[in-house]
């Protein structure tokens, strides 16, 4: 059913006077019982329409939900830096000098990203994922809390009910062609 309906949708951009870019990140922890690898995803919206997204199975196994979300947020933060540099080069978004907002639904991952020091609980996390701390410290990204029901990266990491999936795809700027006829 889902794939049959995708031919009838398209992306819509707009709705805000000033261009704004916001990112969302999410991860699933131990949803694949075969290999226990985490599924992570992110999406960036420009004025409400998705312009960059990724869903991938990570090559490592996380020990906790917080670690899974932290790894996903780190990957999303790297994408945010690239997007910010790209948009700066375009010169069309005056507010791009501000930090890009990156929304995450896990308090522990947010706290770890904002913490400049490692703790005993986070020493096992690979060094490459701690880059998010530097990105946040430089002011390129501001990591913010979003309620799990409002995290539009959710469909990129796990199966959802039809109602929740439809709500998130609408939030991504995806509309049915028949809605615009």
Q: What is the pLDDT of residues 140-155, one digit of tens each?
A: 999 999 998 999 998 8
Q: What is the pLDDT of residues 54-88, one digit of tens each?
A: 998 877 777 788 888 888 999 999 999 999 888 88
Where does the pLDDT of residue 1 fall: very low under 50, low under 70, confident under 90, or very high at 90 and above?
Answer: very low
Domain topology for 2-180: Nucleotidyltransferase; domain 5 (3.30.420)
Comparing 8 with 68, which gets the higher pLDDT?
A: 68
C-alpha distance from residue 89 to each of 11, 51, 53 (Å): 24, 16, 20
pLDDT for 112 = 84
Comparing 106 with 29, which gets the higher pLDDT?
A: 106
Mean pLDDT of the 26-30 span: 83
Q: What is the pLDDT of residues 107-125, one digit of tens each?
A: 988 988 887 655 545 444 5
What is the DSSP track for the chain?
A: -HHHHHTTEEE-----SS--EEEEEEEESS--TTT---EEEEEEEETTEEEEEEEEE-SS--SSHHHHHHHHHHHHHHHHHHHHHHHHHHT--GGGGSPEEEEES-HHHHHHHH-SS--GGGTTS-GGGGHHHHHHHHTSEEEEE--GGG-TTGGGTS---HHHHHHHHHHTTEEEGGGG-
pTM for the model stands at 0.79
Domain limits, the chain: 2-180
pLDDT for 80 = 95
Least confident of 22-26, 133-137, 176-180: 176-180
């Amino acid at each position: 059913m889902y794939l049959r309906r995708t031919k009838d949708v398209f992306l819509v951009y707009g709705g805000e006077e000033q261009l704004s870019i916001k990112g969302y990140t999410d991860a699933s922890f131990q949803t694949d019982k075969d290999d226990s690898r985490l599924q992570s995803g992110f999406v960036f919206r420009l004025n409400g329409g998705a312009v960059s997204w990724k869903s991938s199975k990570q090559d490592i196994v996380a020990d906790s939900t917080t670690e899974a979300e932290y790894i996903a947020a780190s990957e999303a933060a790297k994408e945010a830096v690239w997007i910010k540099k790209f948009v700066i080069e375009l010169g069309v978004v005056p507010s791009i000098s501000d930090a890009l907002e990156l929304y995450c639904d896990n308090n522990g991952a947010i706290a770890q990203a904002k913490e400049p020091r490692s703790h005993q609980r986070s020493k096992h996390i690979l060094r490459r994922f701690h880059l998010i701390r530097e990105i946040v410290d430089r002011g390129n990204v501001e990591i913010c809390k979003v309620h799990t029901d409002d995290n539009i990266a959710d469909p990129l990491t796990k199966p959802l009910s039809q109602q929740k999936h439809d709500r998130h795809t609408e939030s991504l700027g995806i509309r049915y062609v028949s809605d615009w006829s």
